């Protein structure tokens, strides 16, 4: 079936640096990708919706200048956490869909970010 791949699965970075997480749809064209954040033992919180070739739509309370999202192709979206701080440490998960009504949303395996 359809597969969504995230990379890296785990990353540790120093405070103040930036880190990029990639989300790829491996066998379908994802017109829409979603980025979520999940804290331990909590649910998934939508951060932003990314449509190929256009600017991402951010949820209320999510800083667009801190969490840069790029969806330059139909198979790749990237999330860059800029000037990372320890409170940005979290599990980041992407999902992707073809955008066709009736199609399924597929999730990536997630990326653990630890800011030290």
Partner 1 sequence: GENVEQHPSTLSVQEGDSAVIKCTYSDSASNYFPWYKQELGKGPQLIIDIRSNVGEKKDQRIAVTLNKTAKHFSLHITETQPEDSAVYFCAASIGSARQLTFGSGTQLTVLP
Positions in the binding site for partner 1 (CB under 8 A):
4, 6, 32, 34, 42-44, 46, 49, 91, 93, 95, 97-110, 112
CB of 52 to partner 1, least distance (A): 13
Identity of the residue, 86 or 102, whose beta carbon is nearer to partner 1 in the bound complex: 102
Residue 6, Cβ neighbours under 10 Å: how many?
Answer: 18
CA–CA distance, 86 with 20 (Å, rounded to integer): 16
CA–CA distance, 116 with 114 (Å, rounded to integer): 6
CB of 5 to partner 1, least distance (A): 10
Identity of the residue, 44 or 76, whose beta carbon is nearer to partner 1 in the bound complex: 44
Q: Is residue 18 within 8 Å of 80, Cβ to Cβ?
A: yes
CB of 83 to partner 1, least distance (A): 26
Q: Is residue 35 within 8 Å of 94, Cβ to Cβ?
A: yes
Identity of the residue, 33 or 115, whose beta carbon is nearer to partner 1 in the bound complex: 33
């Amino acid at each position: 079936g359809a597969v969504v791949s995230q990379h890296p699965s785990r990353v540790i970075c120093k405070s103040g640096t930036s880190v990029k997480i990639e989300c790829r749809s491996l066998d379908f064209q994802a017109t829409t990708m979603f980025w979520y954040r999940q804290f331990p033992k909590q649910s998934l919180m939508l951060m932003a919706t990314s449509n190929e070739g256009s600017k991402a739509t951010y949820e209320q309370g999510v800083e667009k200048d801190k969490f840069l999202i790029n969806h330059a192709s139909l198979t790749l979206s990237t999330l860059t956490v800029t000037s990372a701080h320890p409170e940005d440490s979290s599990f980041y998960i992407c999902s992707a869909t073809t955008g066709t009504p009736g199609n399924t949303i597929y999730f990536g395996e997630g990326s653990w970010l630890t800011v030290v």
